[in-house]
Every structure is written in C-alpha cells, then in structure tokens.
Amino acid sequence: MAKGMREIKRKIKSTQNTKQITKAMEMVAASKLRRAQNAALASRPYSDKLKEVVSSIATSGSSVRHPMLETRPVKRSAYLVITSDRGQAGGLNSNLLKKLVETLKSKHKSADEYTLFVIGRKGNDYLVRRKYAIQEVAIGLPDSPTFADIKNIAAAAVGGFESGSYDELFVVYNRFVNAVTQIPTLKQMLPLDASQFGKKEAGATAQYEYEPEPEAILDTLLPKYAETLVFSSLLENKASEFGARMTAMSSATKNATKMIGELTLHYNRARQAAITQEITEIVGGANAIS
C-alpha cells in the first residue's frame, strides 16, 4: 500500500511540474500572438499602397500587358509551403501538410509536374521523410520575421514563374481566423488575378505620372507585389502558429489540472484505506491480548 501511495504522489508531482510548463508556454504564446497580429496589421498599409499603384498602372490603358497578369496553359506547377519551425501547436502543421499531399496526388501524375518551396522546419522534415524533392528551403525564422528573412525564397519562387519554369504558383499556409480557428489554405498567387486590379475604390483616388513607361514599372512592381503576398501569408501563418500553440497549451493545462484532481482523490482514498487498515490491526491486536 505504501509503495502504491508513493507512486501516486510521484505522479502528482510530475503532473504539477508539467502543468507549470504548459501554463508558462500558453502565456508566452498569447504574448507572441498579439505581436504577430500587430505585425500583420502593420504590413497592410504598404501592401495596400503597392496594390493601388499597380492597379493604377494596370488599368491605365488597354495596351499595358505583363506576363505575370496573363494566364497560360499549365504544364508545371509550384507550391510555396509555409509551416512552423517548432511543434506543440496541435494539428496546425499536420493538417496543412496533409492538404498539400492530397492536392499533389490528386492533381499531378508525377513529381515532374510540380516544384516545392518550403518555409519552416516542420514542413521540410515532413516532406523529406516522404521523399519529396524540394527546390529551396528557409528555416530558422524568428518569431517576429521581417521581409528580409524570406526575401530570397520569395524571389526564387516568383522568379521561377517569370522565367517560365512553371505556369502557376500556389502559396500553402494557415489562414488565421482567431486563436481557436486556423484554416489550412491553398491559394493561387501567380498568375495574378487581373480582375482585382480593375476594381476602382470609392471616393477620390490619386493620379500618377509614370517615368519610365508603365510596362517598365510593372516589371519591377509586380514581382515586389507578389513577394509582398508571400510575406503577408507568412505573417498570417505566424499568427496561426501562436494561436494554435496557445490553444494546445491551454488544453494541456486543463488536462493536467483534471489529472491532478483525480490522482489526489486516489491518493486520499489509498491513505484513508491504509489508516483504516492500521486501526483494524491495532484493535485486533488489543482484542487478542485481552
């Protein structure tokens, strides 16, 4: 009985230590989530202004054309997959990667029909274990990434479309809804949807004079705009990562609290049974003497 009580007490202590860790991780994730949301909001003015300028150029005349705005027959596709470097975020990465693999199997007959770019150690490890060829990888990103952290891989992915290495580019990431809900998303990034640039915003709009010609400006701005979309997806995935981790650690803390309660109940029952047994033995011994 004493051995069983010591084992229960050891489990209670171990679970209490685990609870302290998960609670601390929950609080850290909540703090990082707020920063990630603020970063996503802070990046919007730049991307909105860039879209406004590109839209102005794209709709300035019927003669303005650019390969990144034109749809061509699809012979090869590319996927830029954004995952986290660390786990302990529930099914955040596994759900996204399962969606990617299902898409690859259903849409392509062989590995020659697609190219993979990966951001995040979890995505890289998952795909390497399954023998998928990866063209370029970016891992070890900070919790508050900057555009410089993904500039090279974003430029490589966009440049491959411009050069004709593939005919469409998708970004695969977790779209952030709230701390509880993150949606695995596969979104076509290139070719850019020309219709989105044809919509005029209500109210006064700025008028621009271009030097040099609009086509030359689009050659520079459209790749920048596409790279900005990659960075925006990265920020959303970061917010999703911290939201999922906060939720997972919150659930772990609640489960630990429940387990401690159950173990404490078992311990008290075992202790009460031991005391009762000792009293019974004492009374039995006294009766035998008398």
d(CA 115, CA 11): 49
pLDDT digits (tens, 9 = 90+) for 207-264: 666 677 777 777 888 888 888 889 999 999 999 999 999 999 999 999 999 999 999 9
Side-chain half-sphere CA neighbours of 115 within 13 A: 21
Structure tokens at 182: 């993150």
* DSSP-derived 3-state class of residue 258: helix
Could you tell me where the beta strands, DSSP code E, fall in the chain?
Answer: 77-82, 114-119, 136-138, 168-176, 182-190
Please state the domain extents for the chain: 2-20+249-289, 28-247
Hey, which CATH number is domain 28-247, 3.30.70.1150, 3.90.700.10, 3.40.1380.10, 3.40.1030.10? Answer: 3.40.1380.10
C-alpha to C-alpha distances, 27 to 20, 79, 125, 237, 274, nearest whole angstrom: 11, 34, 28, 19, 41
Backbone angles phi, psi at 23, to 5 degrees: -65, -40
* pLDDT, tens digit (0-9, with 9 covering 90-100), for 104-163: 999 999 999 999 999 999 999 999 999 999 999 999 999 999 999 999 999 999 999 988
Fold of 2-20+249-289: Helix Hairpins (1.10.287)
User: Residue 25 has which token pair?
Assistant: 């991780």
Residue type, 121: R
Q: 59-93, pLDDT tens digit by residue?
A: 665 566 777 777 889 999 999 999 999 988 889 99
Give yes or no for residue 199 having a pLDDT over 60.
no
User: Measured at the alpha carbon of residue 103, what is the angle toward residues 97 and 108, in degrees to the nearest 5?
Assistant: 130
Show the tokens assigned to 68. Answer: 């990144």
Question: pTM of whole model > 0.75?
Answer: yes
Closest among 82, 88, 98 to 247, alpha carbons compared: 88
Token pair for residue 267? 């311990």
10 — pLDDT class (breaks 50, 70, 90): very high
pLDDT band per the 50, 70, 90 thresholds, residue 4: confident
- Predicted confidence (pLDDT) per residue in 259-279, tens digit: 999 999 988 988 888 888 788
Note the pLDDT of residue 166. 93
